[in-house]
Structure 1
Amino acid sequence: MKQKGIIYEINQWRIRKISNRNFLVILAVLVGLVGGLAAAGLKGLTHHIAAFLQDDVQTKYKYYLYLFFPLIGILLTVLYVRRFIRKGKFEHGITPILYAISRKSSQIESHNIYSQIITSALTVGFGGSAGLEAPIAYSGSAIGSTIARFFGLSYREVTMLLACGAAAGIAGAFNSPVAGMVFAIEILLPEFSIPAFIPLLMAAATASVISRILYSEPLFYLVSDEWVLPALGFYIVLGCLVGAFSIYFSKVDGWVKGWFAKIKNPYHKVWVGGISLGILIFVFPALYGEGYITIQQLLLGKSNSLLANSIFSDYKHVGFMVVIYGAVTLFAKSFATLITLNSGGNGGTFGPSLVMGGLVGFVFAHGINLTGLTYLTEANFIVAGMAAALSGIMHAPLTAIFLIAEITGGYTLMVPLMIVAAISYFINRAVMKYSIYTKNLAKHGDWLSYEDKDKTVLRMMKLRYILETNFTVLAPDEKPMDRRSDIIHTKRNIFPVVDAAQKLLGVIYSERLFSILMGEEVTDKTMKELAQAPIDVVRMDANMYDVMRKMDREDIWILPVLDEHDRYMGFVSKSAIFNKYRALLMRQGTYLD
């Protein structure tokens, strides 16, 4: 109680002394500071684990151990989650952040601040083929949400600081403040207003500075020439290829998730996933960890590095073998990533999207160069492929353009980046209405879509919050005169007839009961005999979009609600839905003012 009193006093003081807008900027800087520390800590911890396993472990059987390192990392991740996160729920990726915004008032459990860092460092550090960007975005979002709730801020302010945390995480992970801010706007806050820029800018810039101070190693070194006009057609073709690949990846994502969902025992998932991943890495060493080292080697023109440490190293100077092996590695990477994430490891598809896009760009440009018909700058096409993949898979073309330009220094390639990102996005969007992050949310009616706001807002409603229970319930063996007073004084025009087991036997409208009470209709029937079956019923787990469609189809304003055991719970009316709809619209419309 004393602690709550102190927090209350602090909040009262800051409300008197600091305007809400200025206080939000101060908190954004704080979120950026902590987010930058988290990003630097995650990168440092992961790379220390990887360096220890790769450099400090010395044994003649070292390379055989690579078969088991990913399994060990995933097992340690699962053990940590099951041992230390018992009360809360542990999830990974960007999707849970979007769900928190849509359905949980932007509240993210605080343990994600550190648990995302620990588990992703174990997964990726031991060779799991996933990225660190989604975990650090999740950790940053938890930082922003926790700080906002500590100060008792409103929903729109909690959402803003959550987005600031995600922006800080991305900015710190990539040392790319602009991309961090654009990511938050494009993915988390699709309906933003100009004032939203300031907190996001401050959070992303602060995180980038802190991360650069603590962990200054750049992600990529780009040795590139300016793009030339004759290559424009090839960039268009590359955008189409990556767009098609992004569709393939989204389809495979659903298939792999479904396959692992059939394995109920979490440790069985670990063994199946870990051993599968180990075999893939043994055949394709480039799949170990994030995969950025492979992309950097390709950017430097070392095309034979793909096969250098593999069982096919004897063919590393054979051009067409490099192209074939690169193409197979690309598809193996898609499975390795999804196996890592669905078998219990923690990471994201953000980083792997960059790697896969870079491989598409390399295979395409290197293959064209081998024909001798023309010469393409392979580094340029690797960079363009990275942007195209991120754009298509995430449905985030702006994030892709600015992120790749920042992390590679490839600002001279801005036009090709814009072209391939746009083409890949539109190709994927033509087939996949939702991104890899939002498809499952949309499937379950949990996605906060701004393209079809009416449907989205209705699906956000929980029936239990608009359920009306103040109806006069009639017993089946009663007669109208037995309940004369209750019937006359009620404000409702419909009466449910419910038996002792709470089963709904039917409904009676007030007109019929008043007709009997006024003597206009002479009858000695009981309530059960007078009751008529309702036109339709609603279940407690129904979403309001389906309820409204049902009401419109039957041209009715009110329907009875039953639970899963067919017990009467109350009624849901159009007027209650409309009132809740207006409240939710006001809430969404103002959270970025």
Structure 2
Amino acid sequence: MTLNQWRIQRLSNRNFLIVLSILVGILGGLAAAALKGLTHSIAAFLQDEVQWEYKYYLYLFFPLIGILLSVVYVRRFIKSKQMAHGMTPIMYAISRRSSRIEPHNMYSQIITSALTIGFGGSAGLEAPIANSGSAIGANIGRVFGLNYREITLLLACGAAAGIAGAFNSPVAGMIFAIEILLPEFSIPAFIPLLMSAATASVISRLIYSEPLFHLLTDDWNLDALFFYVLLAALIGLFSIYFSKLSAAVNSWFAGITNPYRKVWLSGLSLGLLIFLFPALYGEGYLAIQQILNGSYHALLDNSIFSGYSQYGYLIVLYALITVIAKSFASLITLNSGGNGGIFGPTLVMGGLLGFAFAYGLNLTGLVSLDIANFVVAGMAAALSGIMHAPLTAIFLIAEITGGYMLMVPLMIVTSIAYLINRSVMKHSIYTKALAEKGDLLTHEDKDRTVLSMMKLRYVLEKNFTILHPHERPMDRRYDIIHTKRNIFPVVDDQGKLLGIIYSERLFEILLGESNERDKTVADLVQKPADTVLVDANMEVVMNKMNREDIWILPVVDKSGIYMGFVSKSAVFNKYRALLMRQADYLG
């Protein structure tokens, strides 16, 4: 008796999912600890073991080396020569790939992101570990033959475990999975997500217990409420800038086809930026912790501007320029072949903006703001605006800083920043690319959502009688009479579709009711109302059918080779099946 058969007999599906969610949590916590430990070990070796007098010069090359090693690993060991980066591929897997994630992501994400960020790539660890955790959950579910609903739940458990393990924040990990990955939350999903996130957090803390930030705060001052609102508005505007910059940088790098050219260009650019702004090295959390500790001048330490650290306004200016530099550095890292996430850079940019805002106002002597509180609020606002994830921002920042006393300011700044960004950017930085391709799973429009989940190849019908241009209807009399179809594709010797002929016209010829008896198929063929590419989005297919008011369309590839037909009846049958699967998933 196999393990799967034994569990079917002894355990209910719900209890088995809880067991698997704990297993996913354990593996996700181990993966998070391994990634943090490996990344920080590489960074510590490069920063502590290398002689100080040469460090500035080596900073120019460390990011280049890290990205190059990451690209070489992918091209050497990943069969597809490509590897998904960021949260977007996880969402795509849920909506378009039946929650399938390639198994190599369980370890490849750890290796490539540790190389990228450990060598100074300006990115975060959260997206790689979420990818790794999602791959763990999805593939465990597939091993046990679970259905789409259950695999998707375990995938989300893996992502929650990754975030919880990376930040030691189980509540934020669970909320992240609900807010970002699960299209609609259902109560049965709550317990597995909670168990997975909590387990991962415990495992990660046992192995790698170093907290992300230390914050000591008693409370927040009601008199500062106006300034929290003002900060949120400014960061909301910044989040719009960053979202648009992300699209522009991504488009620019997409035009560079040679992967090693991207490496050299980005590596040297990053090296120069880090040389000027050392806080850009790696995740950048150290600079935020130094500010929380009150060491504001440390932002300029180890830079060529360190001699000016006694000038407060220059510190503010340097912090603002560092934010702009960080936005470019993180996007360059992620678009050049390096592996990392935008989550971490978002926290750093928000924290620096909060610092510059509060410290700058304090220098005027008109107000006295708690700078640490505004740093924390800035991180939450940036995360909410850029990611469209206000709940994740609130609980993540509260957990990683211990700033639970700031819950009200966090709620205010996250809401305002989110609303400002959403008023201009309909989709978050994660979902924009999916939405533009029609691959975004959303429940605002259920028809479009179900159609986006449907793949044309699954409804492609091929059992049609193919006619060739040199043939006459009488030559194919038997095939024409005995077919169950009323439409015949006409295809040349190379397999290209020339047109179609309807059965009514052929039957008239075969019954002698037409004077076209001696005509060849080439003489009888007619152009179809339209054709469909085999990789077309199903929403496009249905729009074509509705526009032409027809029930069936021929399908071809990009070269015009005949592939089959797609009919409304096949689409509707698949649509009903997907609705049933979706209802099962949400139930």
Give me the TM-score of the superposition, normalised by structure 1.
0.94
| Further displaced range: 502-511 or 476-485 | 476-485
Indicate which of 447, 457, 468 corresponds to 2:450.
457
Pair 1:531–1:75, CA change in 2 (3 A): closer
Gaps of 5+ in 2: none
Deviation at 1:425?
A: 1.3
| 2:237 aligned with 1:235 | no
Deviation at 1:485?
A: 4.0
Distance 1:495 1:85 in 2: 43
Pair 1:405–1:226, CA change in 2 (3 A): same
Aligned residue-pair number:
586
Indicate which of 68, 80, 101 corresponds to 1:75.
68
SS at match of 1:495: strand
Indicate which of 544, 552, 556 corresponds to 1:562.
556
Distance 1:47 1:155 in 2: 37
Match of 1:16 in 2: 9
| Further displaced range: 500-509 or 438-447 | 500-509
SS at match of 2:555: strand
Distance 1:122 1:316 in 2: 32
* Conserved 8 A contact 2:74-2:81: no
One-letter identity of the residue aligned with 2:215 = L
Pair 1:464–1:66, CA change in 2 (3 A): same
Deviation at 1:163?
A: 0.9
Pair 1:252–1:21, CA change in 2 (3 A): same
Deviation at 1:45?
A: 1.7
Indicate which of 184, 199, 202 corresponds to 1:206.
199
* Conserved 8 A contact 1:506-1:528: no
Deviation at 1:343?
A: 2.1
| 2:398 aligned with 1:398 | no
Match of 1:541 in 2: 535
CA displacement, residues 310-351 of structure 1 (integer Å, 9 cap, x when unaligned) = 211222121211111111000000111111222222111111
One-letter identity of the residue aligned with 1:121 = A
Match of 2:25 in 1: 32
Match of 1:582 in 2: 576
Pair 1:265–1:560, CA change in 2 (3 A): closer
One-letter identity of the residue aligned with 1:278 = G
Match of 2:251 in 1: 258
One-letter identity of the residue aligned with 1:114 = Y
Distance 1:578 1:289 in 2: 50
One-letter identity of the residue aligned with 1:559 = L
Distance 1:506 1:268 in 2: 45
| Further displaced range: 197-206 or 566-575 | 566-575
CA displacement, residues 494-517 of structure 1 (integer Å, 9 cap, x when unaligned) = 223333333333323233334444
One-letter identity of the residue aligned with 1:43 = K
Match of 2:306 in 1: 313
CA displacement, residues 337-368 of structure 1 (integer Å, 9 cap, x when unaligned) = 11122222211111111001111111111122
Match of 1:107 in 2: 100
Distance 1:165 1:233 in 2: 40
| Further displaced range: 523-532 or 218-227 | 523-532
SS at match of 1:169: helix
Deviation at 1:375?
A: 2.0
* Conserved 8 A contact 1:386-1:404: yes
Match of 2:426 in 1: 433
| Further displaced range: 427-436 or 377-386 | 427-436
Pair 1:45–1:565, CA change in 2 (3 A): closer
Deviation at 1:271?
A: 1.8
Pair 1:272–1:481, CA change in 2 (3 A): closer
* Conserved 8 A contact 1:225-1:380: no
Deviation at 1:134?
A: 1.0
Distance 1:216 1:533 in 2: 69
5 Å-filtered alignment, 1:379-398, equals 379-398=372-391
Match of 2:163 in 1: 170
Match of 1:507 in 2: 500
* Conserved 8 A contact 2:183-2:441: no
SS at match of 1:197: helix
Match of 2:585 in 1: 591
Match of 2:523 in 1: 529
* Conserved 8 A contact 1:169-1:180: yes
5 Å-filtered alignment, 1:68-467, equals 68-86=61-79, 89-467=82-460
Deviation at 1:202?
A: 0.5
* Conserved 8 A contact 2:532-2:556: yes
Pair 1:187–1:221, CA change in 2 (3 A): same
Distance 2:441 2:408 in 1: 32
Deviation at 1:78?
A: 2.2
Deviation at 1:235?
A: 1.6
Deviation at 1:37?
A: 1.2
Deviation at 1:567?
A: 2.5
SS at match of 2:466: coil
Pair 1:552–1:315, CA change in 2 (3 A): same
One-letter identity of the residue aligned with 1:498 = V
| Further displaced range: 90-99 or 453-462 | 453-462
| Further displaced range: 527-536 or 418-427 | 527-536
SS at match of 2:115: helix
SS at match of 2:564: strand
Distance 1:376 1:451 in 2: 41
Distance 2:69 2:477 in 1: 69
Distance 1:500 1:58 in 2: 71
Deviation at 1:526?
A: 3.5
Deviation at 1:188?
A: 0.9
| Further displaced range: 513-522 or 178-187 | 513-522
Match of 1:4 in 2: none
Deviation at 1:129?
A: 1.0
Distance 2:34 2:317 in 1: 38
Distance 2:559 2:302 in 1: 61
5 Å-filtered alignment, 1:48-59, equals 48-59=41-52
Distance 2:79 2:563 in 1: 33
Match of 1:550 in 2: 544
| Further displaced range: 58-67 or 422-431 | 58-67
* Conserved 8 A contact 1:445-1:460: no
SS at match of 1:591: helix
* Conserved 8 A contact 1:225-1:377: no
Deviation at 1:170?
A: 0.5
Distance 1:472 1:85 in 2: 42
| Further displaced range: 399-408 or 530-539 | 530-539
Distance 1:258 1:286 in 2: 26
Distance 2:192 2:198 in 1: 10
Distance 1:87 1:553 in 2: 38
| 2:61 aligned with 1:63 | no
Pair 1:470–1:431, CA change in 2 (3 A): same
Distance 2:218 2:298 in 1: 21
One-letter identity of the residue aligned with 1:231 = A
SS at match of 1:570: strand
| Further displaced range: 200-209 or 75-84 | 75-84
* Conserved 8 A contact 1:160-1:592: no
SS at match of 1:569: strand
SS at match of 1:114: helix
